[in-house]
Amino acid sequence: MVAMRTEEEIAQIRHAGHILARVFAKLKNKIICGISTQELDDYIKSLVEEHGGLCAFLGYRAYPANSCISLNEEVVHGIPSLKKLLKVGDIVSVDIGVKFGSWFADAAVSYPVGNIETSRKKLIDVTKKALDLGIREAYAGNFLSNISYSIQRYAESFGFSVVRDLAGHGIGKNIHEEPEIPNYGRLDCGITLKKGMVLAIEPMVNMGGWEVEVLPDGWTVVTKDRLPSAHFEHTIAITDNGPEILTRL
């Protein structure tokens, strides 16, 4: 069952979302050559807590860090480490969940580190735009599958592929709730969207094939062909006026 949130509940999730927006705005300046993903994770924790939130991923299904930080061929769920240093040309994908009171918001951004190859820059830009196009479909009365369809169509039109094994999700009282929101699908099928639904939409786009695997650490999802991947995510609410992005100021 997909939960419908009241205005008051959405206000709580918006508060969590605005903490995320502030954290990402500050984090941008720390995306520099030589910094470790562990340092970024520590910084994220301090920023989230400064704003009165908690990092929601820590301890979720025994996940061992505050955030997920994934480099290049790592798609998602990269575990921050002192041994992983950003270098020029990398794509670094940062995914953060915030709990405020009893409510959750979730967002992710892929950043280029310094000057990167044109094709990698394109991958980042296309993934971001795919998220925007997916969000545009998130209005009451539309089919959920049209979010999926738009994301897939746009990403594949550049010769990229969308990850099939992971998906966006409902969010609110828990990080992951119904419905599941795949990043591929057909037009006009499945459930329809309603006012009050709160969704985390999160395209993961690969430069090569869509297949992924999990590393022996049990978390890090990497592309099978080891080509790079990018990931953007926003938490949105469906309102009378269309989608409201809760993780943007």
Burial class (CB in 10 A: 0-12, 13-18, 19+), 174: middle
Q: What is the 3-state secondary structure (H, E, C) of 113-126?
A: CCCCCHHHHHHHHH
Segment interacting with ligand MF3, rule: CB under 6 A, options 16-24, 58-66, 152-160, 179-187: 58-66
Residue 68 interacting entry, from Co ion, ligand MF3, none, C-beta within 5 to 8 Å by type: ligand MF3
| Closer CB to ligand MF3, 116 or 163, in the complex | 163
| Closer CB to ligand MF3, 63 or 149, in the complex | 63
Nearest to 76 by CA among 134, 5, 139, 127: 127
Residue 45, interface with ligand MF3 (CB under 6 A)? no
User: How far is residue 65 CA from its own chain's centroid?
Assistant: 16
Q: d(Cα 201, Cα 169) in Å, to the nearest integer? A: 7
Give residue 53's identity as a one-letter amino acid code: G
| Closer CB to ligand MF3, 207 or 221, in the complex | 221
Residues contacting 26, CB < 8 A, separation 6+: 47
Residue 57, interface with ligand MF3 (CB under 6 A)? yes
Residue 57 interacting entry, from ligand MF3, Co ion, none, C-beta within 5 to 8 Å by type: ligand MF3
Q: 108 has which bridge partners? A: 95, 233
| Closer CB to Co ion, 116 or 201, in the complex | 201
Q: d(Cα 29, Cα 46) in Å, to the nearest integer? A: 15
Residue 77, interface with ligand MF3 (CB under 6 A)? yes
Count of residues in contact with ligand MF3, rule CB under 6 A = 12
Segment interacting with ligand MF3, rule: CB under 6 A, options 1-9, 53-61, 83-91, 240-248: 53-61
The pair phi, psi for residue 95, each rounded to 5°, is -120, 125
| Closer CB to ligand MF3, 106 or 244, in the complex | 106
Q: Looking at 7, 26, 60, 214, which residue binds ligand MF3 (CB under 6 A)?
A: 60
Residues 93-132 that bind Co ion (CB under 5 A): 106
Longest dimension (CA), the chain: 48
| Closer CB to ligand MF3, 68 or 116, in the complex | 68
The b-or-e profile of 16-37 (16+ CB within 10 A means b, else e) is bbbbbbbbbeebeeebeeebbb
Q: Looking at 73, 90, 106, 137, which residue binds ligand MF3 (CB under 6 A)?
A: 106
Task: Provide the binding-site residues for Co ion, judged by CB under 5 A.
Answer: 106, 200, 202
Task: Provide the binding-site residues for ligand MF3, judged by CB under 6 A.
Answer: 57, 60-61, 63, 68, 77, 95, 106, 169, 200, 202, 233
